[in-house]
Amino acid sequence: MSVDGTGAWKLPEELVLLRDTVRRFMAAYVHPIEDTLPHDSIGLPRDQLVELQAKARQLGLWALQTRRISAAPG
């Protein structure tokens, strides 16, 4: 992160792209499913959950907290 001319923090381009990808994923896939569920739901039906997980994996949004391991030694 860096400070721009205004003194505000600016996200690195990599994080801006990730943020925008997550926003699009949520708008396209998660929110439409949530809108069909009762307001007091505590989870998704299994088939919808599995489908969302697969889409998240395809977009590289799965296990973001896990460090990528290079195939090269060192």
Residues 6+ apart with CB under 8 A from 40: none
Annotated domain spans of the chain: 12-58
CA-CA distances (angstroms) from residue 31 to 3, 25, 35? 33, 9, 6
With a cut of 70, which residues of the chain have pLDDT below it?
Answer: 1-5, 67-74
pLDDT at 65 (0 to 100): 81
Tokens of 40: 């007091």
pLDDT at 8 (0 to 100): 80
pLDDT at 9 (0 to 100): 87
pLDDT at 4 (0 to 100): 64
pLDDT at 21 (0 to 100): 95
